[in-house]
């Protein structure tokens, strides 16, 4: 796949204006992660691809913007203007620097207000995604342990209902990858998902699929990029959720 890359040298580029109405803009702060969905109700570019529009005030230091999804190929654009559509003036763009189907842009921006276009690479692609803005440049992750001897890690995930239900639900996509670890293959995670979800209020369930997708990205990314600590993070979160909900905990190591 050829990446559609727009570098900082394209600051002066002005794209042809579209007749599409201005899209809604969602504010996101540095240090925040938020999820959304691309679908037929989302604004659309001339190439037929859907997008979401976000606004951030980057501050004076470097920032890193990640777009994460397992539903489609992410294409991230940062720029200026009044809207994220065709009239947006791009400063930088990325297709797959976030690994797999994810996109990532980092740098120091002098503009006090940035637009973030969370775009699908191809026309008509739909699904859930996350946007995260962090202070600083991307960290270079050290490879810890191996897939045969997963390292011990401390999970930063809570054991809230939507987190645990999302972790259990993710196993539907991950079982063939992590089924060889500990007692994973003997546990009915679908049943645990149903039990935890059944205890939640209806308005609390909206985040479950977003969280599930994130766990799939974390664990599969670990296998693809040879980062066993990411696989261990997922299994550690599962174990924490199991204990919090009174289940027999998953064991992480083979």
Note whether 15 and 125 are same-domain residues.
Answer: yes
d(CA 75, CA 17): 20
Note whether 131 and 12 are same-domain residues.
Answer: yes
* Tokens representing residue 185 in the block: 């293959």
Average pLDDT on 176-193 reads: 94
Note whether 42 and 113 are same-domain residues.
Answer: yes
d(CA 35, CA 212): 12
Q: Which of 13-22, 45-54, 59-68 has the lowest mean pLDDT?
A: 13-22
pLDDT digits (tens, 9 = 90+) for 86-127: 999 999 999 877 666 789 999 999 999 999 999 999 999 999
What is the predicted pLDDT for the residue at 133? 95
Structural element, H or E, at residue 211 = helix 208-225
Of 135, 152, 185, which one is at a domain's C-terminal end? 135
Note whether 23 and 131 are same-domain residues.
Answer: yes
CATH code, 106: 2.60.120.1220
Within-domain flag for 145 = no
Cβ atoms of residues 90 and 4 within 8 Å: no
The domain in which residue 239 lies consists of 161-244
Note whether 121 and 33 are same-domain residues.
Answer: yes
Within-domain flag for 254 = no
pLDDT digits (tens, 9 = 90+) for 139-165: 655 556 788 888 888 898 999 999 999
Distance between alpha carbon 188 and the CA centroid of its chain, in Å?
26
What is the predicted pLDDT for the residue at 143? 58
Structurally, the chain folds into a number of domains equal to 2
Within-domain flag for 110 = yes
Within-domain flag for 146 = no
Angle between helices 228-244 and 208-225 (to 10 degrees): 140
DSSP 3-state of 224 = helix
Within-domain flag for 249 = no
Compute the mean pLDDT over every residue in the chain, rounded to the nearest whole number: 86
* Tokens representing residue 139 in the block: 């960290």
Note whether 121 and 187 are same-domain residues.
Answer: no
Note whether 118 and 166 are same-domain residues.
Answer: no
What is the predicted pLDDT for the residue at 213? 92
């Amino acid at each position: 796949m050829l990446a559609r890359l727009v570098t900082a040298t394209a600051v002066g580029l002005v794209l042809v204006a579209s007749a599409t109405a201005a899209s809604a803009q969602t504010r996101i702060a540095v240090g925040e992660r938020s999820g959304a969905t691309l679908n037929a109700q989302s604004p659309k570019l001339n190439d037929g691809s859907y997008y979401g529009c976000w606004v951030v005030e980057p501050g004076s230091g470097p920032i890193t913007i990640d777009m994460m999804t397992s539903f489609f190929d992410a294409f991230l654009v940062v720029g200026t203007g009044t809207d994220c559509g065709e009239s947006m003036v791009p400063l930088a763009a990325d297709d797959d620097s976030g690994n797999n189907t994810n996109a990532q842009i980092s740098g120091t921006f002098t503009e006090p207000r940035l637009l973030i276009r969370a775009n699908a690479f191809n026309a008509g692609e739909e699904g859930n995604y996350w946007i995260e803005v962090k202070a600083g440049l991307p960290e270079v992750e050290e490879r810890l342990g191996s897939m045969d001897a997963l390292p011990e890690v401390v999970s930063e995930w809570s054991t809230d209902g939507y987190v645990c239900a999302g972790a259990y639900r993710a196993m539907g996509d991950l079982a063939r990858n992590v089924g060889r670890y500990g007692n994973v293959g003997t546990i009915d995670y679908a049943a645990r998902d149903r039990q935890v979800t059944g205890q939640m209020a209806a308005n609390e369930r909206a985040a479950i699929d977003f969280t599930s997708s994130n766990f799939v990205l974390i664990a599969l990314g670990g296998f693809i990029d040879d980062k066993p600590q990411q696989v261990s993070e997922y299994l550690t979160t599962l174990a924490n959720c199991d204990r919090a909900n009174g289940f027999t905990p998953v064991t992480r190591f083979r």
